[in-house]
Structure 1
Amino acid sequence: MSWFTQQTYAGASEPLPDLVGSYVDEGYLQLTKLVGVHKTFHVYHALDTTTDCFVNVKVFRSGVPGSQRAAAIDHEFSLHQAVAAEPGVATLKSKFTELLNEREFTVFKLNHADRTMYQSIFHSQVYVDRANLVRHDFHQLVAAVRDIHLLGVHHRDIRPTNVWCNPDGSGVRLANFGMATQDNQSEDMRTGHTWFMSPERVDAATHPTYSPRQDDLWALALILFVMITRIHPWNAPLPSDPGYAAFRADEANNFIEKFHLTPEANDFFIRCFAPNPADRLSLDDVSVAIRMIDRFTRARLGRVYGGACIEPVRPSGTPAASVAFSLQVPVPVVGVPAAAPFADVRFLDKDRRSVTTRMRALKGLRRA
């Protein structure tokens, strides 16, 4: 349905109603489109009728004063407000309550955002064959996390659906601080998405507490991995998870063989995903290391015109999820003049584990 987060949380109340068309903020904001559905809140695009500009609003069902729900909303507002002035964080303009359909709602007014990084990665695919954009947006996200950490706030739910951006992937902003904390050590294993959690957070039996700061760093590395490959390497970082177990069993080769990462990128992720949090890269180390990696993947699937990659393609019958696109400069075509249209460039067909010519792949696509 939506490009915003869409999850079910244990203990959540009945779903919120669709309030499209309603007016809030003393009638100045009209809710025009429901863009995010969550058990505890909805996200809308809203038109400011005084300026004809759009904003995003986050709508919660208000809790009774003193209740757990009211305390959670106040806690989120307080921590988001503490970091909202940072350039890489979603701007929190105001908070107010509204009586709609005889029920009271709490509303956060935020900056307008067209989409999330999730949509940029998996729907628009704006990062395919665009290493510079990957680095630029990831550095923006790293800077945002560094800024909130310096202010003593840890997000604990960093994932592509909680990163807002423009249609071209620019303007990265960290949003949704519902799980944020100021604690340096936490016993709170609240529900989130295990894809982006650190091992010490998902395995309470082995790790009774965890560092929210280290949990954020782990999530950042996974976001970069997904930006590069468009694939989640595991469902949860647990020994019982096949993907995670395979990585731990053969760290030196697993990502190279399965996702076609370059050795340099593989070494980077091995350090980011070290079992011991003390052995992982810091935020500053991550920023430096990314600049030192020329290529992230060895796989290259692209349509080539005069030696320049202008359109990604994949072999007929190859699932999109199994393809790791390369992030590199175009490879010159040996023995073919620069002016030759659509040179017969070779690329890796991952499913067949062989090298296939581009022309054969195009014929396969036409047959499909």
Structure 2
Amino acid sequence: MNYQKEALPIPDLSGQSVGDGRFKLVELIGFGASGTVYRALDTQSDPLDPVYFAIKCLPNTELSQDSLAWQQREIACHWLVSRSSSPHICKLHQIIEEGLYMYFVLDYCPGGDLFTAIKLRTYEGNVSLIKKVFIELLDGVRACHSAGVYHRDLKPENILCVEPGLGIRVADFGLSTTKLVSREFNVGSWDYLSPECNFETESPHYSSLHSDIWSLGIILVNMVSGRSPWGPATPSDRNFRKYINNPDFLLEVLPISRSFNEILKQIFHLRESARISLSRLREEIINLDTFYPSEADLCNAS
């Protein structure tokens, strides 16, 4: 990919090697606010069957105290989930500190991210594919929770794919926590935040686990319909306000079946402790006949 170098938060290191020469940074494949990501060749692998990793490069000097604390938390959480046997987590294999930078050696997922697959309408109308991919995502998040880690920034951009739209890997643990009860508000991406995660609720705390379940529900609606049910889950958002007043609002505005609507109501329960569990949600998705309305449903709606 071609990136404008002036847009990068740190210089492009493509072509350089790290880890005492073991990993060659072949090409820049992405960047964020503070770092860059490369496809990297493991030079110790068989030239006839080369092995690639993704390497995330972050500054290792002049970090503020807050930035250092967040970075240390991300590393600790990512190490914890990387011990899991789940194939649906983007594993952290090694951390290298050389010169000005810190390098995270991660699973390489050449299939892009879930956001791209949703944007390309990969899933819309394909019930079996939605089920397969979403259950993989559920299993990845369940493995994180079993390891005592709560993601807090689940969104399509942070879900990677081994192949385009397939082979799910939960990634980016920059906002994750090991605290089941959180007092850090507005952590995550606005449209995927649970309502109790917003400081406007004036609650002293919220459940990190149940907040992740809410985010998964938004992602599932994205996959099924290609859109989000509302913007931020606050009363100031018109669509969310309509949902508060009418729990069947989504049935009226989205092309979904009544049975799927019942599942969504369990995910988007306004009382966080009443939300469906991940294990129960998995069962409901497996047993669901379709996400989409039948001809009879469409006739009744008209």
Task: Check 1:214–1:264 CA distance in 2 against 1; reply closer, same or farther (3 A cut).
Answer: same
Name the counterpart of 1:303: none
Indicate the residue corresponding to 2:213 in structure 1: 217
| TM-score computed with the length of structure 1 as normaliser | 0.72
Alignment-mate amino acid for residue 294 of structure 1: D
Report if aligned partners of 1:36, 1:43 keep a CA contact under 8 Å in 2. Answer: yes
Secondary structure (helix, strand or coil) at the match of 1:79 reads: helix
Larger radius of gyration: 1
Aligned to 2:119: 122
CA distance in 2: counterparts of 1:111 and 1:78, whole angstroms: 17
Unaligned runs of 5+ in 1: 3-13, 301-347, 355-368
User: CA offset at residue 251 of structure 1?
Assistant: 2.0
- The answer as to 2:288 corresponding to 1:288 is no
Structure of higher RCO (CA pairs closer than 8 Å, 6+ residues apart):
2
Structure 2 residue 20 is matched with structure 1 residue 22: no
Identical-residue share of aligned pairs (%): 28
Find the aligned partners of 1:281 and 1:108 in 2 and give their Cα distance. Answer: 35
Residue aligned with 2:183, SS = coil
Alpha-carbon separation, structure 2, partners of 1:188 and 1:26: 39
21, 25, 28: which is aligned to 1:31?
25
What's the counterpart of residue 78 of structure 2?
Answer: 80
Which residues in structure 2 correspond to 1:164-313 (within 5 Å)? 164-189=160-185, 191-252=187-248, 254-298=249-293
Residue 104 of structure 2 aligns to a residue in which SS? strand
Where does residue 89 of structure 1 map in the other structure? Answer: 89
State the shift of 1:189 in Å. 1.9
CA distance in 2, matches of 1:72, 1:271: 32
Q: RMSD in angstroms over aligned alpha carbons?
A: 2.3
Report which of the two has the higher share of helix. 2
Q: Per-residue deviation at 1:191?
A: 4.3
> For 1:160 and 1:113, how far apart are their aligned partners in 2?
14
CA offsets per residue over residues 254-273 of structure 1, 9 Å max, x none? 22221121111111111110
2:273 corresponds to which letter in structure 1? Answer: A
Kept in 1, the 8 Å contact 2:185–2:199? The answer is no
Question: Cα deviation per residue 1:76-96 (whole Å; 9 max; x = unaligned)?
Answer: 111111111322211111001
In the alignment, structure 2 segments of 5+ residues that lack a partner are: 3-7
Please, what TM-score do these two structures have when normalized by structure 2?
0.87
Deviation at residue 190 of structure 1 after TM alignment: 5.0
Counterpart in the other structure of 1:61: 59
The Cα offsets for residues 82-111 of structure 1, whole Å up to 9 and x where unpaired, read as: 111322211111001122xxxx01110011
| Cα distance change on mapping 1:249 and 1:116 into 2, 3 Å | same
Distance 1:23 1:69 in 2: 26
| Conserved 8 A contact 1:76-1:180 | yes
